Structure 1
Amino acid sequence: MSEKTQKPKKGNSLKIIIIILLVLIVVGGAAAAAYIVGQKGSGAKTTVVKVVESNEITFPLEEFLVNLMDEDGKRYLKVKVVIGYEENKELEAELTAKTPIIRDVVIAALRSKKTTDFSATGVDAIKNQLIKSIDPILTKGKASHIYFNDILVQ
């Protein structure tokens, strides 16, 4: 009889452990769900990112390598310049035709700069200056942005 009484106890204890684990899982899941639902109603702020569609096209002016106006005269700038403009076939043709003139204007503007001009705020000022220098050359549209790629000041 002792063997028969021991087997049901082992089976019953295993069932009790499984039932307790299932109850804990259900209670934990309910608590997690209540917490998540509570967070949504608590006024948690969400950020919505708006995607702005733009018809901006870019026109690369390729790489520039110019000496800078530092006192020692041994500093130079290597940068790829790209012009951004609103989609316009006539302006694209004009940019292609006037590329040598535009490159000359950009070289003249960049050569007048010093190494210290290429700080975070200085770069934005240089970009604005380049737009102001390029726009009078263009008759079919305007440049909206100047982008610098692979900039190196040495």
Structure 2
Amino acid sequence: MAEEMDAQQEIQPKKSFHKFIILGVMVVVLGAGGYVGWNYFKGNRYENIKETQTTKADANKKKDEAKIVFPLESFIVNLADREGIGRRYLKITLALEVCDEEEKRMVTRYTAELRDTILLLLSSQSFSEISTMEGKLELKQALLSRINHALGGRIVQRLYFTEFVVQ
């Protein structure tokens, strides 16, 4: 019986020793996997940030390059009289911002069509529609949309009111 006890005592330390070895190997493997994963995702995050910054820088360069401003002659139109207020006139001068000389030449080529489109839109507006800041901004968006539609694409980047008088 004493021999059996000695045999069991010898077996138990071997089992616990094997458990510690397996546990140690698992900790090392998980630690290495965590380290590799951390570095992989950490590297991608910084690369994505760098790419985003580069993209923003390119967009800012393009925005700075889009500074060719093409002034249009003044428009004087009768406003629509929906409120029964009487005749009101709008004198407005616009400037169009385009990206390059080719687009500027295109705007020059289609000036008559653009003026027609602008005159039709302006004469359909009433005093109450354009007297508020929101109305002016809506008018600006509508003009930009119609002008780009007449040109067949997003040629004009921005539209500026350089004169806006209602009488």
Q: Following the alignment from structure 2 to structure 1, what is the Cα–Cα distance between the partners of residues 117 and 102?
A: 21
Tell me if the contact between 1:105 and 1:133 (Cα under 8 Å) persists in the aligned partners: yes
Name 1:129's counterpart in structure 2.
Answer: 142
4+ long deviations beyond 4 Å: none
Q: Following the alignment from structure 2 to structure 1, what is the Cα–Cα distance between the partners of residues 88 and 134? A: 20
Alignment of 1:100-111 (within 5 A): 100-111=112-123
Aligned to 2:102, what secondary structure does the other structure show?
Answer: helix
TM-score between both structures, scaled by the size of structure 2: 0.56
Distance 2:143 2:91 in 1: 16
Shift of the 84–61 alpha-carbon distance from structure 1 to 2, 3 Å rule, reads same
Deviations 1:44-88 (A, max 9, x none): xxxxxxxx66222111111000000023441010011111122x2
Pick from 90, 101, 104: which aligns with 2:102?
90
1:57 to 45, 68, 81: 68
Aligned partners of 1:83, 1:98: CA distance in 2, in Å?
Answer: 13
* Alpha-carbon distance in structure 1 between the residues aligned to 2:122 and 2:161: 12
Residue 133 of structure 2 corresponds to which residue in structure 1? 120
Give the secondary structure class of the aligned counterpart of 1:80.
Answer: strand
Q: How many angstroms apart in 1 are the aligned matches of 2:157 and 2:97?
A: 6
Match of 2:92 among 76, 79, 90: 79
Query: 3-state DSSP class of the match of 2:94?
Result: strand
Deviation at 1:141, TM superposition (A): 4.9
| Residue 66 of structure 1, aligned match among 77, 80, 87 | 77
Q: Distance in 1 between matches of 2:105 and 2:163?
A: 26
The structure with the largest alpha-carbon Rg is: 2
What letter corresponds to residue 139 of structure 2 in structure 1? Answer: I
Structure 1: gaps (5+ residues): 1-51
Q: Quote how far apart the aligned CAs of 1:106 are.
A: 0.4
If the length of structure 1 is used for normalisation, what is the TM-score?
Answer: 0.61
Aligned-partner residue type, residue 111 of structure 1: S
Identity of aligned residues (%): 30
Say how many residue pairs are matched: 102
User: What is the aligned-residue RMSD (CA, Å)?
Assistant: 1.7
